[in-house]
Structure 1
Amino acid sequence: MTMKVFITGASSGIGEALAYEYAKRHPHQDTTIGLAARRSGHLQALQHTLETSYGVKCEVYALDVRDGDALTAAAQHFIQHHGTPNVVIGSAGVSSGTLTENAADTDAFQAVMDINVMGLVNTFQPFIHAMHAAAASGHNAQLVGIASVAGVRGLPGAGAYSASKAAAIAYLESLRVEMLHHNIAVTTIAPGYIRTPMTNINTYKMPFLMDVDIAAHKFVSAIERKRRFVVIPWQMGWVARLMRFIPPVLWDYLAKNAPHKPRINVE
């Protein structure tokens, strides 16, 4: 079966693991994976590994998801040379501890929101019209956004990240309903703690921490089942359900002394 996938944030973490997972599931020349991220060298190394180890074809797009024109050009190139992708995955994301009281964190707030929210819009928009036509012809067409459990409730010291992931969840829900008219599935994946470079800097305990390759396997299984919204690992799904219904006064009491994510430079 022909499989065409386009993934942003593919140079590390969840995006890279998803590229490996698709190559493992569809290890033949009928599989094409578009790899988009800022770090060209990492993408080229990944391309070489996937092509030599699994026989898939890869296209590398060194770009920043904040650059809508670059993503439009990448989408046009991919479609022109390989056809409309079956699945487009917006996996690019950043996280940093932020405090509104610190003027120096304002730029970090902007960067986190731009990458984690507008990056999804920029990723999906240039593919949608082609996916309309593909879906009308009976082909699978699916958009996938990586959100986070951190978007369920606001976490202290992570205002930018929580806000961006809450916005991503709401945006993806809106998009899912919009795409129903075109038979394009939309899947929101809200991970808990996944072992990636993003979580490696955390100095606090991370319950239900999952290795990224295991997470990617579960993500792709959920995508193939066209899940609308899924929290992985499942234990964090129950935590998320509980978080939604905690009254604000109790949430404030429980969360006020929660550990803060380290501050890092976000560019």
Structure 2
Amino acid sequence: MTFPFRNAVLTGACGGLGQALARALIARGAAIALVGLNRPVLDELATLAPERCSVYTPDVADAIAMLACAKDWTQRHGVPDLLIANAGVAGGFDTAQADDLVVMRRMLEINLLGVATTFQPHLAAMRTSGRGALVGVASIAGWRGMPGNGAYCASKGGLIRYLESLRAELRGTGLSVHTVSPGYLRTTLTAGNRFAMPGLMEPDDAAHTLLAGVARGCTHIVLPRRIGWLSRALSLLPAAWHDHLLLKQPRKPRVGEAGATAIPGLPAQHDTSSS
């Protein structure tokens, strides 16, 4: 099957899935805007096809900065036909801890608002062109809340509903909207997890499956598919049983705890990111 996309914008291009997607898109001949915070990683990816790549390092939640990136990219390479909003952060959350409210706000900014700020600057031009795909990377965690993971589950659950709304709004325009729900991928976001991760998937395999699904027009893509079946099976249990099972599992580390992943843009006392 011929890959139908030639001009892509990819956020979160520094992470495990993001780098895998970037390499796959470059290998398929697409021009690609590499958006992320780790400039050296992005620059290294851009060397794979310097004539087709541009590097941008905005805060994805900053609408003005994202608009500036979109204008620059369009001037260089034209209107994109593939937007992949992949930027995301994860971390444990405890409502009883006042400091965690700041973490929740930042997680919602990146994981939810950041998808809208990725799509918005390109949407009018893409509607005029009458073709293109908008891809939001959500999570299986958005299907049901999990103890100690409320902020992340809320951000991804909200994203799933946002993408559903956008899909309905764009019907008949020639644009498609795709919701991606990964389970567990072998990336820095899962490296600190202290619980079982069934169906753990390699980023390169996930990237291939994601792009193939979008190319086929799949509106819902689960990575890997079997983790979706497991999640749906568990959802059939009474809520009390389901909660009891989850309460037995170790929780994802909160910011500042051993094994926690960095969340860029937090106030100084919270920020553990070097990017």
Structure 1 and Structure 2 fold alike (TM over 0.5): yes
- Secondary structure of 2:83's match? strand
Correspondence for 1:106: 101
Matches within 5 A, 1:33-112: 33-48=32-47, 50-51=48-49, 57-112=52-107
Write the letter of the residue equivalent to 1:189. V
CA distance in 2, matches of 1:88, 1:64: 17
Deviations 1:110-155 (A, max 9, x none): 11111000000100011100100111xxxx3110000000011101
Trace 1:143-158 onto structure 2 (pairs within 5 A): 143-158=134-149
Structure 1 gaps, min length 5: none
In 2, Cα distance between equivalents of 1:3 and 1:234: 27
Query: Does the 8 Å CA contact 2:95/2:101 hold for their aligned counterparts?
Result: yes
Q: CA deviation at 1:221?
A: 0.5
Deviations 1:92-115 (A, max 9, x none): 000011110111111111111110
| Root-mean-square deviation (Å) | 1.5
Residue matched to 1:211:
202
2:119 matched to 1:124? yes
Secondary structure, aligned partner of 2:49: helix
One of 147, 151, 157 as aligned partner of 1:160:
151
Structure-to-structure mapping, 1:175-186, within 5 angstroms: 175-186=166-177
Query: For the residues of structure 1 that align with 2:226 and 2:27, how far apart are their CA atoms?
Result: 26
Find the aligned partners of 1:158 and 1:2 in 2 and give their Cα distance.
35
Q: CA deviation at 1:234?
A: 1.1
1:11 equivalent to 2:9? Answer no
Separation in 1 of the partners of 2:254 and 2:214? 32
Q: Secondary structure at the match of 1:206?
A: coil
> Does the CA contact (< 8 Å) of 1:6 and 1:85 recur in 2?
yes
Give, in whole Å, the separation in 1 of the partners of 2:110 and 2:234.
25
**Which secondary structure state, in structure 2, belongs to the residue aligned with residue 51 of structure 1?**
coil
- Tell me the percent identity: 39
Letter of the 1:10 partner, please give it.
Answer: A
Q: Deviations over 1:135-191 (max 9, x none)?
A: 1xxxx3110000000011101111100110000111111111111132210000000
SS for the counterpart of 1:182 is coil
Do 1:150 and 1:161's aligned partners in 2 also have CA atoms closer than 8 Å?
yes
3-state secondary structure, aligned to 1:210: coil
CA shift at 1:12, angstroms? 1.9
Counterpart in 1 of 2:273?
Answer: none
**Aligned pairs, number:** 255
The aligned amino acid for 1:152 is W
Q: Distance in 1 between matches of 2:251 and 2:225?
A: 24
- Code of the residue aligned with 1:260 in structure 2: it is R
TM-score when normalising by structure 1: 0.91
CA distance in 1 between counterparts of 2:5 and 2:179 reads 24
Alignment match, 1:260: 251
The structure richer in helix per residue is 1
User: Are the counterparts in 2 of residues 153 and 162 from structure 1 also a CA contact under 8 Å?
Assistant: yes
Match of 2:24 in 1: 21
